[in-house]
Structure 1
């Protein structure tokens, strides 16, 4: 509906004239800021809920909602842990649905690049604002009939912080409310902080009004045939319909913190990125450095952010595991905040060996979605076989009896945990510092089984932007793609771009200024394999050995690197391999000429196809990497 519809009327007038009686079961509408009242009135008029519930983020509120969800069978209390719950979704609603995610603008090329004629663009999906509005109005008309509309005030970043942003989400899912309380800072204080500031408008519905027209599975009402996630960057608005899964419904996550925030960042001169933030302290000197790393989903960001170092002398602490907002301060230092309040991590493969700090983070106040349940009230997923009784009875994510050794998966490959970040044993004491932490290095990476070395350093900021633009990785279970194939995921932002990717790359280039201390940039690959398919690098806690080399390079150590056609490689012996046994250094860092020529030509063709005339040509002109490979390898 148009912005000037009944939003200027008092909500009770709308209720009387259009809807009948809509009780406010909690909260005081008249205490809300006027701009929030208008926003709420508009969507009450459209969605037609039976009641309103204005959230305050309190413990009592969480207890009330949790109790209701247990009663309805949506949540199962896990008796092995404290305040932990299991949720099983409808099996048709288990992944981020990129194919149904849209950015709406009047000008197509504000959203997507000028792709080559005949090429299907994959760097964002565009709809005209009016077409998107028509779809939204059609889908959401009466979508909350018979259900309660929850009004969730939340902050991305510390409440009131200079780098933080405010959102208000409307939803008809109290499961979403519980998860938003964990993943963002939900508080009645938001109304005071909002003041004259704007806020991001978030509307979510499971798309299943009463009386329901589709069979509800696992007490999980949804509408998988009509899923739609629409973004309106110009008015800072997100509308999601049909799905209750993770990022489709927790709109503070990818939708706000990346897609909409990237547009805000472009307009305000900062960066919103799909990156972890971690601190590494050299215990000999007491000096701490912070790095950010961008990997595609399910490529190990959480594992890296929470590693337990396998070499003495380093202490690691996590600031964030998924999203970083980065801004240069008045002294030219790049500073980063984690805008989230919790972790929403993929579980299969996580255990006390691969990521003990994650395992310890979700022993309390956590929600597990689509995992298996053990007979003693615990949880199970693939990767935990050595940590439970192999004969224990298990109920898989579909609610069926299961035991270790049986075919099929006990947990869905994209099963998730949601827990407060504050519970992580190695959470950084400054993880909520509103000023952010100073960043020394930016790291890109992905799953590259062949050809790509363990680590290399970019020649310059511009070269680093090119390296980021060329990120590729094996596909994962986080989205609806199936099978293993190498996919382009430039800057690890392919599914999360809020505007034209060529303009986004130019925005990155524009970050470099003479009065700024530009961080060094690197590319890592933990996943290279030998001819037998065996990993050449042990990974996990041993990745700190690579980070040690990265930090020494940031400190200016010229003696530990050699120049190569693709960037600076570690000099042989410059990475501590103590205790690792036979590491095939030459194979791990080899640069097969034909592989790299093919890879660079394919990457250049991809960018010419997908970004076309919007691609900043200075990147290719400044870094003729293909020519260097031809001449030097």
Structure 2
């Protein structure tokens, strides 16, 4: 392949001189290339082909300590320390580059250096970004082929320009003490060394689409968010779009793959994206969004035909599974699959496993990588270059006692505060995670929130903002809300509010539905239970919650005055 872009050639040559690969391979993104590389990976023992009942599906396992994010390895390197990201480590760029160079020297000896050109976002969209990742991992190439738009389309969009993002991934010896995930947003460059975990090695995923992009977006005035996008079509054929941000394991993917319940006759739901959204003010004064990804890299445990039937159908073919259990004859299994574990099962680390084993069969963070195009419910507009207009933004938390099922913000500023105070319970502890993006934020929290607040003056028809919680429990510890497809009832009320079709009741922490406006047809829940349990606001509990939110947000320097005002206003309303 002939590459005429002098910036690309020079950069690839520099990395090759440092890493010393045996060969350089320029990826073209074709189906033939994917099939050939997949078979090569199987032959080399890097992938395991699954049983023929799972056509063109493969399994891969990482090293035990390389199976999830490690924030102690994650850096955002800016020229000035005051520009650092509050939630990542900082190191001066020169110092970090020196450390990286010493690890990368001769690191690809005996290996192939793969050059992956890719586009995040629909090709030709004004939202989209171009990038090139250099890697020594065939597993990374195969996953990036699914998750991004690689090959000729990317080369065409890159052209002879120098404004593409540069990324380097080196598998190395996987030594966690020398594992670095280093982002240089001012130089549009990132590195991941001594790792093969997809969250780091698939650089078009979290590192570029969220960490790097959130830093760039805060300066350029757009939003790069950890959000799903769902389209809802009513019986009259009108389509509205909802974006939703949730901390991990709080229901985001299930919402993205929503199927309307039986009572909602004539309604249809379509997926635009399940994990990442880029949003910009449009010329019509509305907020428009795209899904920058071309595939899904999603958490697997709990995915089954009942909890997420659309996802369960999608992953039956053309899927790469990471850190799952596989039987000796190639049948995949994971906790929450909804089927009996097959015989002769090997867990994600290759150890024999049965129901009496004291350890998990699949890693709790095991993943599937599937093409978005094979999800039968993908929106026909998911690759529209203009994006889709957002009618509502949902921030979803996970609270067993305090948070009600649903709150609507009083206004945009209050909505940003609802997002900034987002939290999720984890093993009896509470993790605070503003907008669900905390582990992936590449800007300072102050700059990030100021960017969100600035949108109000750039939108004449901003989305309504809501906060939801599917996880409230009764005194016995049972969930009060049925969840899953029944969450559509909440979305139905949200859309009614967006178009001034329903009233709401004002409380000290936001607006909640009137019981008579909430559709409870077909579920075992009365209007009294809805009001007295699911929508109840406990003043004492909320006073405590507000004080804890204030303490948490004050841990970030340079907090916007508008957020300080929202804290003070909520304390006053609760007094």
SS in 2 for 1:130: helix
Shift in alpha-carbon separation, 1:253–1:484, aligned structure 2, 3 A: farther
TM-score by length of 2: 0.96
Which position in structure 2 is the counterpart of 1:244? 196
Q: What is the rounded CA distance, in whole Å, between the counterparts of 1:419 and 1:266 in structure 2?
A: 30
User: Which of these residues, 544, 547, 550, is aligned with residue 601 of structure 1?
Assistant: 547
**Alpha-carbon separation, structure 2, partners of 1:103 and 1:545:** 41
How far 1:398 moved relative to its partner? 2.1
Aligned to 1:438: 389
The one of 283, 288, 291 aligned to 1:330: 283
Q: Distance in 1 between matches of 2:331 and 2:66?
A: 23
- Could you tell me which of 100, 112, 125 is aligned with 1:161? 125
Q: Give yes or no for the alignment of 1:454 onto 2:398.
A: no
Instruction: State the Cα deviation string for residues 458-495 of structure 1 (Å, max 9, x = none).
Output: 011100111111111124xxxxxxx5521111111111
Structure 1's 172 and 555: CA in aligned 2 closer, same or farther, altered over 3 A?
A: same
Residue 66 in 1 paired to residue 38 in 2?
yes
TM-aligned CA deviation for residue 182 of structure 1: 0.5
* Alignment check: 8 A CA contact 1:201 1:237 kept: yes
How many Å apart are 1:406 and its aligned residue?
Answer: 4.1
CA–CA distance in structure 2, aligned partners of residues 44 and 266 of structure 1: 33
Task: Give how far 1:408 is off.
Answer: 2.4
Partner of 1:369: 322
Q: Do the aligned partners of residues 130 and 64 (structure 1) sit closer, same or farther apart at CA in structure 2, a change above 3 Å counting? A: same
Contact 1:328/1:516 (8 A) holds in 2: no
How far residue 558 of structure 1 moved from its aligned partner, in angstroms, is: 4.1
The answer to whether 1:573 aligns with 2:516 is yes
Let me know the Cα RMSD of the aligned residues.
Answer: 1.6
SS of the equivalent of 2:544 reads helix
1:503-542 → structure 2 map (5 Å cutoff): 503-513=447-457, 516-542=460-486
- The DSSP-based 3-state class of the residue aligned with 1:126 is coil
Structure 1 pair 534–184 and aligned structure 2 pair: CA distance change class (3 A) = same
Partner of 1:200: 165
1:106-128 residue CA offsets vs partner (Å, 9 max, x unmatched): 21121245xxxxxxxxx232222
Counterpart position of 2:136? 172
Q: Do the aligned residues in 1 keep the contact of 2:550 with 2:567 (CA within 8 Å)?
A: no
Are positions 1:344 and 2:288 aligned together?
no
What is the aligned partner in structure 1 of residue 536 from structure 2? 590
Q: Secondary structure at the match of 1:439?
A: strand
Secondary structure, in 3 states, of the residue corresponding to 2:56?
A: strand
Q: CA deviation at 1:177?
A: 0.3
Aligned: 1:555 with 2:520 = no
Structure 2 distance, partners of 1:447, 1:593, is 19
Measured in 2, the distance between the counterparts of 1:104 and 1:391 equals: 47
Matched, 1:630 2:574: yes
Alpha carbons 1:96, 1:246 under 8 Å: kept: no
Aligned residues: 568
SS at match of 1:505: helix
Structure 1 residue runs of 5 or longer lacking an equivalent are 1-26, 114-122, 209-221, 476-482
Partners in 1 of 2:492 and 2:44 — Cα distance?
50
Correspondence list, 1:137-152, <5 A: 137-152=101-116
Structure 1 position 288 matched with structure 2 position 233: no
For the pair 1:98 / 2:71, whether they are aligned, the reply is yes
CA distance in structure 2 between the partners assigned to 1:465 and 1:309 by the alignment: 28
Q: Distance in 2 between matches of 1:621 and 1:89?
A: 46
In structure 2, the partner of 1:543 is 487
Q: Does 1:267 align with 2:231?
A: no
Question: Partners in 2 of 1:354 and 1:565 — Cα distance?
Answer: 34
5+ residue gaps, structure 2, are: none
Match of 2:181 among 229, 253, 256: 229
Quote the offset at 1:144 in angstroms.
Answer: 1.4
Contact 1:124 1:494 in 2 (8 A): no
Greater mean deviation of Cα atoms: 493-502 or 620-629: 620-629
Aligned residues of 1:100 and 1:228 also touching (Cα < 8 A):
yes
Contact 2:417 2:566 in 1 (8 A): no
Write the deviation string for residues 90-118 of structure 1: whole angstroms up to 9, x where unpaired.
222111122210000121121245xxxxx
- After TM superposition, the structure 1 = structure 2 runs for residues 280-319 of structure 1, keeping only pairs within 5 Å, are 280-283=232-235, 285-310=236-261, 311-313=263-265, 314-319=267-272
| CA distance, structure 1, for counterparts of residue 25 and residue 566 of structure 2 | 56
Secondary structure of 1:289's aligned partner: strand
Give the secondary-structure state (helix, strand or coil) at the position aligned to 1:68.
helix
Secondary structure of the structure 2 residue equivalent to 1:419: strand
State the match for 1:49 in structure 2: 21
User: Partner of 2:307 in structure 1?
Assistant: 354
How far off its partner does 1:515 sit?
5.3
How far apart in 2 are the matches of 1:626 and 1:440?
26
The reply on whether 1:492 has 2:436 as its aligned counterpart is yes
Distance in 2 (alpha carbons) for counterparts of 1:506 and 1:57: 39
Q: 1:498 deviation in Å? A: 1.1
Q: Provide the secondary structure at the position in 1 that maps to 2:511.
A: strand
Whole-Å separation in 2 of the counterparts to 1:287 and 1:515: 22
- The separation in 1 between residues aligned to 2:336 and 2:487, in whole angstroms, is 20
Q: Which residue of 2 aligns with 1:118?
A: none
Q: Is the 2:404–2:535 Cα contact (8 Å) retained in structure 1?
A: yes
Contact 2:546-2:567 at 8 Å conserved across structures = no
Q: Is the 8 A contact 1:274 1:493 kept in 2?
A: yes
1:43, distance to aligned residue in structure 2 (A) = 0.9
Rounded Cα–Cα distance in structure 1 between residues aligned with 2:197 and 2:112: 19
Deviation at 1:192, TM superposition (A): 2.0
- SS at 2:517 equivalent: coil
Instruction: Give the distance between the partners of 2:373 and 2:157, measured in 1 at CA.
Output: 23
> Residue 598 of structure 1: SS of its match in structure 2?
helix
The CA deviation at 1:623 is 5.8
* Cα 1:467/1:515, change in 2 over 3 Å: closer
- 8 Å contact from structure 1 (residues 206, 223) kept in 2: no
What is the CA–CA distance in structure 1 between the aligned matches of 2:258 and 2:203, rounded to whole Å? 28
